[in-house]
Structures are given as structure tokens and as C-alpha cells.
Structure 1
Amino acid sequence: MPVISRIELYHVAVPLPTPFRPAWIPGYPQTHNRFDLLRLVTDDGVEGWSAGPAMGRERAGIGDLLGPYLLGTDPTDIETVQQRLREMAYLGLRNAWIEPAFWDIKAKLAGVPLYRLLGGEERPVRLYASTGELRGPAERVEEVARHVDAGFESVKLRVHAATVEEDVAQVAAVAEAFGDRIRIGVDANQGWRVSAMAEAPLWDLARARRFADACADLGLAWLEEPLPMDDYDALAELTAKARLPVAGGELHTGGWPELRMMIHRRCYDVLQPDAMFTGGVAQTLKVAEECRARGLGYTPHTWTNGIGFAVNLHLMAAAGDADAFLEYPIDRAWTPPLRDAVLTRPFTHRRGTLDLPTAPGLGFEVDRAALRRWGRRFSTVTGGRLALRTLRDKGLRGTVTLARARRDRTPARSHP
């Protein structure tokens, strides 16, 4: 049985050629694609990778926590991995993004891409172009024209203006220009409103209804996150009455238990969990299965980094409908080569579709030269290093006691 024998953590900051101004963080010019990269290595040399988006170096000390919980773990025992991450979360540190690295190893040991391990088949995946910045009507029409010329059959707009009339004007301009040629969705980014840098509109149910009605009249395909993510009553009421599908659920760090409740309450018509936040692959797969059982749609959020995109691509291939569209982040300052900068080959679309990877695991290779250029390793954890640290902290007797406990522990079972 292989076990995890080494854990490495890197902070990666890929410079962007021009500042990116995400609609979801008004007033914040993002100058780098930042994320923390995790490398797991088994005692027989198999690697597993994952990456969590970062604002800065907020995870600087997480390596001290990962070692005791994850060293020596069987990487194919996902149930125990989930329980270890659950225990870490009791401290307020929810790190679902770690779990996909274990699936990467598990699929590599099986010699298949992850989507095949999960029951999916190789097929082209249809994509929708997911814009990131705010635009005025004329500029948005020009942007959508470029996506149409590139072969996309669906696009998602961003609205965040001070008034509902301004938001409707942008959507109406695009619908008038392209409504008979492509599917158009719109993201209000109200699920997790951020106003730390600049004031941002906070929608209530009345404004959400007005905008939803306007979108329905314009023939839009869906409305995304029109209310705060935890306003379950208002979401359910809006979804029940809206004349177009309401979508959301991307950053619910409560994972499967929270999203199961929202599914049962029908807070959304389409669930968009991102495995890097919503409990990892295992819990997100449960969400997709429950959506199918309840007649709801499933298509994941993917706007993090290239590795996060890869994880959700595999889930879409395994659990999504063949005719559904997967989010494809793309903007003038956020292109696939920048999003996937530490991968040897970016996930580049071809006429609005993407072929699934065929290599085992998550199907990518990390570009070690790019990682050396833009990444800084901030933690390395091995059994020897952990023992030395424990010896300093606990003394010889405490170290021996803890070593025996770790050796004798059995995998946890039957957690929710």
C-alpha cells in the first residue's frame, strides 16, 4: 500500500501583462495570478498536485498542520482523507482544494484519467466563454463578437452597476446583437459580495426579481447568483417564480451537507459547485448525483487557476450532461496561458470545445521551469522533518507517544 511520504507547498505569483479587474472584487486591480500549489509524493514516487487560489501568503503556516494529518495516509483512501480535512476544518481552516491531489494519485495508480475512474467517457466538452471584467454595452458587444468568431456558442456576462437599469442596458445590447446566435447567461456576483476595496451594490429580492424578469424578457439562458449565498429563503422564492433558470452554489465551503439542503429546498435550478471550495471531488460528485436525481442542472464553477479548471473539467466529464456547457474563464487580461502558466500545456479550446486529457490522473504535467520562475516553496514536510519538529515541541517522551499513536491509528469511517 503506497502512503504519502512528502508534502510540498509553493506560493505561485504569475504576473499579468495588464491589470485584471474582476467584477466580483470592485476596485481591485489584480496584477498576478496567485495560488498555492500542493505537491504530494508517495513512498514509491507517485505525485499528486492541486492548487488553491490565494490573495497573498495567507497560508504560510499550513504546512505545520498538514504533516500530522496527512503524512502516512493511503492516498487511495478518500474517505479517510475527507475525514482528516474535516478535522482540520474544526479550526476554521476549510481547505477542500487539497483533496483533489489525492484523486490525482489514485487515478495515476489506476492508470486512467480521473474522469474515467469516476465513470465518465472520453468526449469533447462544450464550453461557455466566461467573462471576468465589467464592460459598458458597446464594449461588451465587441467582446462577445470576438467570442462568437472564436467558435463559442454560449457566453456569460458580468453585471455590477449601481442601478438595475444600467445592468439591463448591457444585457439588452448583447441580446439584441447576438440573442439569436448564442446562449447568453449573466452573473450578478451577489453570492459573495466583496466591498473591501470599493462600494458594491447589494441586491435584495425585489431588485433580483426585476432583473430576472428583464433577463427572461430578453431570452437569456440563465441568471447566476442574484442574491447572497446564504439567503436560502429568498433564493428559493426567486427560483420558484423566475421565468428563467437561476444558478449558483460555487463557493459553499459547507460542501455536501449545505448544498444538499439547498438542493432539497430548490434554492437553484442549476448547481455550480467548484470542487476546490465545495468539499473536494468526493463531495462535489455527491452534489452532481443529487442534482440528477432531483431533476436539477449541474455545471461547475471553474474560475480559479489551471489546476482548479482541470479538476472541475474531470467532474463535468464524469457527472455532467453531455449537452451542458462548462465555464471557460477568458478575458483580455486573463487568458489560458496565464491561467495555466505552470502547466506544460494550457487547456486551450478549439472552436468552443475542449478535448479531455488522456493521461492518467488529472491529465496535466507541471512545468518545473515555470514553477521555479514564478513559484516559491514555503513548506516541505517529511516524516523526518515532522519528527524533529515534534521533538522540539513535545520532548522525547511526547514524541515517542505521538509516534505510537500515529502508527496504531486506524482509518476513520462513517462521517457525514
Structure 2
Amino acid sequence: MQVIDRIELYHVTAPLPAPFAPSWMPGTIRNSVTFYLVRFITDDGVEGWSAFTGAGRERVGLGHMLADLFLGQDPEDIDKLSERIHIMAVGGNFNWWIEPAFWDIKAKNAGLPLYKLLGGTDDRLRLYASSGELREPPARRDEAEKRLSEGFDTMKIRVHDWDEKVDIEHISDVAKHMQGRMKISVDCNQAFRLTAKGDAPMWSLDRAKRFADAAADVGLAWVEEPLFGEWHEEMAKLTAYSRVPIAGGELHLMGYHELARMIKMRCYNIYQPDTMWTGGVKQSLDIAKLCHEEGVEFSSHTWTNGFGFIINAHVFAASGFAKDMVFEYPLNEPGWVPEARDAIIKEPFMHDKGWFNMPQTPGLGFEIDHDKLARYGKCFFTASRKEVHWMPETMADMG
């Protein structure tokens, strides 16, 4: 039986070409893409990779836990490995982002791209351009025109102002400017509060209703996360009220069971779980299956890094929704661009005139650029079935 023989953990910080101010983190300016990278290697040399966003040193103690739980295990026993990730969650460590690395190994063993192993047949995904920053109306109009010229037929913008009239003005201006040439959606970033460096408004149900009315009046494609993520009852009321589809679901750490409750409550019209947060590949596909059964829509969230993008692309391509729904493509020039987001991946995941061509190589479908990994990354933990090595001398370089 093939077993996991070795684990490596890296902390990676790669520069962005320009500062990036994410709308969901008020007061924050990012100059790099930062993440934790895991590499599982089997006793016969098959590698599985995954990575998850990280602000600093918050995951440096993860190695010993991974070694105890996964060394010597069968990498294809996804149910057992998922149970062990859940054991970590019970202890307060939510690490569903690890699970796709096992699928990477399983698909490589099968000689198939992951989405084909999962039963997917959609080789091309229609994309929507997903912006990440707040912008004034003239700049937003220019951005929309540029995305349209590149082949995108849908773009998602951001709003996050204290004054709801400003938010309504922003969606109305760009929607009217595009005059039906492009679909516009909006992310309100109300489902979670990342206010460590700057405060932000917290919308009430009444404010969300007024915003949904304005969005419907100008023909928006959907309104994303206009209420706090734990307000399930209020979400259901808003969705029942709204004339425009309401979307969300990216960061529900309880995974399938919480989202299944929300689906049955009709909290949203469109469910957007992110595999890296909401239970891994298996649970994400279970969510997609339930969406089919309940007659609601599904389209994965992807705003993390290149690993999160491609893993969610495999899930979406296997979900059965790819023929009718659009898939998120993060793009916010000049700071957040594919070449920087995918810094240690040999071939960045570029769009093709608003479409994405799924990789056809086995597994997740990418190669690590080991020269760039050595330049931007620090290996701080390695373990095999014979020895464990934690490297504290690298910690000063991990901030």
C-alpha cells in the first residue's frame, strides 16, 4: 500500500508589482502574496501540494500535528484523512486547505486531471473578472471597459462605504455606463469582519434590502454577501425579498453541514464555497450536489492564491454547474495579477479571452518553480517516518 512518507512546510512571501488594498480588509495595504505551502511525498515519490493564505507566523506550529496525523497514512483514503483534518478543527485548527493535496496524489496515481477523476467533463470555464479594491466611478468605468475588451462578459466590483448612498452610486454608475454590454455584480464583503487595521460598516437587514432594491433597478447579475455570515435567518429573509440573486458562502468553516442548513433555509440563491475553507474538495462537491437537488446555483470562490484558484477550478469543473454559471477570476491591476498571485507556479493560470482552459496533466495540473520557491519561500518543517526536523533558525525570515 502506498503511504505518506514525508511532509514539508514552507512559508512563502512573493512581491506584488504594486500595492494592493483589499476591500475586505480596510486599512490594509498588501505588497506581497503570502501563504503556507505543504508538500506531501509518498513512499514511491508521488507529490501532493496545496497552499493557504497566511498573514505571518500563525501556522508555524502546524508541522508536528501534521506529522502525527498523516505520516504512514494511505493518501487515497480521503474519508479517513478528512476525519483527521476534522480532529485538528476540533482543537481549534481549521486546515481544510490540506485536503486537496491528497486529491493531487490520488489524481496523479490515476493519471488524470483531478476534475476528470471527479467525473467532470467541462474543459473550459467561462470566467467573470473579480476586482478586489474600492475605486471611484471614473476608474471603475475604465476598468470595466478594459475587462470587456479582454473578453470578459461579467465583472464583479466592490463596495464598502459607511454611506449607503455612495455604495449605491458606485453600482449604478458602472451598470449604467456599460449599458448592458457587460453584466455587473457586486461583493459587499459583509459576511466576515477583518477590521484589525480599520473599521467598516456592518449592514442591517434594512440597509441590505435597500441596496438589493437599487441593484435590481440597475440590473445587476447578483449581490454577494450583503449580511453577516452567521445571520442565517436574516439572509433567508433578504433572499426571499430581493429581486436580484443573493450570493455567498465562501468562509463557512463548518463546511458541508452548515452550508447544507443554509441551502435548505434558502439563505442564498447562489452558493460560493471556497474549497480551501469550507471542507475541502469532497465536501465542496457534496455541497454542489445538494445545490442541484435543491434547485439553487453553485460557483466556487477563488480569492486566495494560485493554488486556491486551480483547486476551486477543478471542483467547479466537476460540479455540473460549469455550463450555466461563471467562475471567479481574481484580477485587480496593477497589484493583483496572475503572474504575482501564482509566483512559484511555472505557468501562471492565465485567462483566454474571458475563459479558462483546464490543465490536462495529472493531478492539480501545475509544476512548482523550485528556483522561485527557493527565492521566496522558507522551509521551516520537514518530517519523514524516520525523523522530524523543525528549523527555528528560519523564523526571523518569516514575518
What band does the TM-score fall into relative to the shorter chain?
over 0.9
2:306 and 2:80 map into 1 onto residues whose CA distance is: 27
Q: Which residue of 2 aligns with 1:25?
A: 25
The separation in 1 between residues aligned to 2:57 and 2:232, in whole angstroms, is 33
Deviation at 1:179, TM superposition (A): 3.6
Contact 1:96-1:277 within 8 A present in 2 as well: yes
For the pair 1:370 / 2:372, whether they are aligned, the reply is: yes
Which residue identity does 2:130 align to in structure 1? Answer: S
The corresponding residue for 2:134 is 134
TM-score (norm 1): 0.92
Structure 1: gaps of 5 or more residues: 390-416
Tell me the CA shift for residue 198 of structure 1.
1.0
Counterpart for residue 281 of structure 2: 281
The equivalent residue for 2:393 is none
Q: Which residue of 1 aligns with 2:339?
A: 337
Contact 1:38 1:50 in 2 (8 A): yes
The match for 1:354 among 326, 341, 356 is 356
- Deviation for aligned residue 1:17: 2.2
- Structure 1 counterpart of 2:231, which letter? D
2:182 corresponding residue in structure 1: 182
Distance 2:79 2:30 in 1: 37
1:84 partner SS: helix
The residue that corresponds to 1:324 in the other structure is 325
Residue 102 of structure 1 aligns to a residue whose secondary structure is: helix
1:68 aligns with 2:68: yes
Contact 1:179 1:219 in 2 (8 A): no
8 Å Cα contact 1:311/1:362 also seen in 2: yes
Q: How is 1:104-143 mapped onto 2 (pairs within 5 angstroms)?
A: 104-143=104-143
User: Within 5 Å, which residues of 2 pair with 1:76-225?
Assistant: 76-225=76-225
**Matched residue SS, 2:256:** helix
* CA distance in structure 1 between the partners assigned to 2:8 and 2:258 by the alignment: 31
**Do 1:336 and 1:347's aligned partners in 2 also have CA atoms closer than 8 Å?**
yes
Rounded Cα–Cα distance in structure 2 between residues aligned with 1:112 and 1:16 = 33
| AA of the residue aligned to 2:353 | R
- TM-superposed CA distance for 1:193, in Å, is 1.9
Preserved contact between residue 3 and residue 43 of structure 2 (Cα < 8 Å): yes
Separation of aligned partners in 2, 1:13 and 1:268? 35
Q: Per-residue deviation at 1:147?
A: 0.5
Q: Secondary structure at the match of 2:243?
A: coil
Write the letter of the residue equivalent to 2:339: P
The question of whether the paired residues in 2 share the 8 Å contact of 1:190 and 1:228 is answered with: yes
CA contact (8 A) 2:239 2:269 kept: yes
Alignment of 1:231-270 (within 5 A): 231-270=231-270
The alignment of Structure 1 onto Structure 2 pairs a total of residues equal to 388
- CA separation in 1, counterparts of 2:296 and 2:360? 29
2:338–2:350: 8 Å Cα contact kept in structure 1? yes
Cα displacement (A) at 1:123 = 2.1
Moved more, 114-123 or 182-191: 114-123
TM (norm. structure 2) is: 0.96
RMSD between aligned alpha carbons?
1.0
* 8 A Cα contact 2:9 2:63, kept in partner: yes
**Secondary structure of 1:99's partner?**
helix
What is the CA deviation profile of residues 263-317 of structure 1, one whole-angstrom value per residue up to 9, with x for unaligned ones?
Answer: 1111110000000000000111100110011000000000000011000000111
Instruction: Look at both structures and tell me which one has the larger radius of gyration over its CA atoms.
Output: 1
Moved over 4 A (4+): none
Q: CA-to-partner distance for each residue in 1:180-228, whole Å, 9 max, x for gaps?
A: 1111110000001222111111101010000000000000000000000
Distance in 2, Cα, partners of 1:155 & 1:135? 14
Specify whether residues 245 and 122 from structure 1 end up closer, same or farther in structure 2 by C-alpha distance, changes over 3 A only.
closer
Q: Deviations over 1:306-361 (max 9, x none)?
A: 01100000011100231210000000110000111110101100110011100000
Q: Distance in 1 between matches of 2:303 and 2:240?
A: 27
**Is the 2:17–2:340 Cα contact (8 Å) retained in structure 1?**
no
Give the corresponding residue for 2:394: none
Deviation of the 1:90 alpha carbon: 1.3
Distance 1:287 1:184 in 2: 26
Structure 1 distance, partners of 2:160, 2:311, is 29
What letter corresponds to residue 146 of structure 2 in structure 1?
R
Q: Distance in 2 between matches of 1:39 and 1:284?
A: 22
Q: Distance in 1 between matches of 2:100 and 2:124?
A: 22
Q: Which amino acid aligns with 2:328?
A: E
CA deviation after TM superposition for structure 1 residue 122, in Å: 4.4
CA distance in 2, matches of 1:199, 1:70: 40
Change in CA separation of 1:296 and 1:55 when aligned onto 2, cut-off 3 Å: same
CA distance in 1 between counterparts of 2:168 and 2:270 reads 22
